[in-house]
Structure 1
Amino acid sequence: MKRPVGILLLAIVAAVIATAAAAWPSGATGAPGGGKIVAVGAQSQYADVIAQVGGKYVQASAIMSNPNTDPHSFEASIAIAREVGDARLVVQNGLGYDSFMDSIESATPSSGRTVISVQRLLKLPDSTPNPHLWYDPATMPKVAVAVAASLSVIQPAHAAYFKANAAAFTASMKRVDAAIASFRSAHSGVPVAVSEPVADYLLTALGADNKTPWTFQSDVMNGVDPSPQNVAAQRSLFTERKVRVFLYNQQVTDALTGSFITLARQNHIPVVGVNETMPAPGYDYQTWMLSVVRDLRLAVAHG
Structure 2
Amino acid sequence: DPHTFEAGAKVSQTVSSARLVVQNGLGYDSYMNKIEAATPSSARKVIVVQHLLGLPDSTANPHLWYDPGTVPKVARAVADDLSRLAPAHAAVFSANLARFTASLQPWLEAIASARAAYAGTPVATTEPVAAYLIEAMGLDDLTPFVFQADVMNGVDPSPQDVTTEKALLTGNRVKAFVYNEQVTDSLTQSLATLSHGHDVPVVGVYETMPTPGYHYQTWMVAEVRSIVRALADHVSTTHL
For this structure pair, what is the TM-score category when the shorter chain's length is used for normalisation?
over 0.9
CA-based RMSD = 0.8
Does 1:236 find its partner at 2:157?
A: no
Instruction: Report if the CA contact (8 A) 2:24-2:64 is conserved.
Output: yes
Partner residue in 1 for 2:231: 300
What's the CA shift for 1:250? 1.0
Q: CA shift at 1:241, angstroms?
A: 1.3
Deviation at 1:282, TM superposition (A): 1.5
Structure 1 residue ranges without an equivalent (≥5) = 1-69
SS in 2 for 1:111: coil
Of 82, 98, 108, the match for 2:29: 98
Q: Contact conserved, 2:7 with 2:31, CA < 8 A, in 1?
A: yes
Q: Pick from 124, 127, 148 the counterpart of residue 196 of structure 1.
A: 127
Secondary structure of the equivalent of 2:128? coil
Take 2:147 and 2:23, find their aligned partners in 1: how far apart are those partners? Answer: 27
Aligned to 1:142: 73
- 1:294 is aligned with what amino acid? R
Match of 1:154 among 85, 91, 96: 85
Q: Give, in angstroms, the shift of residue 168 of structure 1.
A: 1.5
Report how many aligned residue pairs link the two structures: 234
Deviations 1:96-132 (A, max 9, x none): 0000000011111111111100000001000000000
Whose relative contact order is higher, 1 or 2, with alpha carbons under 8 Å and at least 6 apart?
1
Measure the CA separation in 2 of the matches of 1:220 and 1:294: 25
The Cα shift of 1:75 comes to: 2.2
TM-score scaled by length of structure 1: 0.76
The 5 Å alignment of 1:101-250 reads 101-250=32-181
Counterparts of 1:245-284 in structure 2, within 5 Å, are 245-284=176-215
User: What SS does the aligned partner of 1:198 have?
Assistant: helix
Q: CA deviation at 1:73?
A: 3.7
Percentage identity across paired residues of the two chains:
61
CA contact (8 A) 2:2 2:28 kept: no
Q: TM-score, normalised by structure 2?
A: 0.96
SS at match of 1:90: strand
4+ residue runs over 6 A deviation: none
Matching residue of 1:47: none
The residue aligned with 1:89 is 20
Q: Specify the SS of the correspondent of 2:129.
A: coil
CA distance in 2, matches of 1:212, 1:72: 21
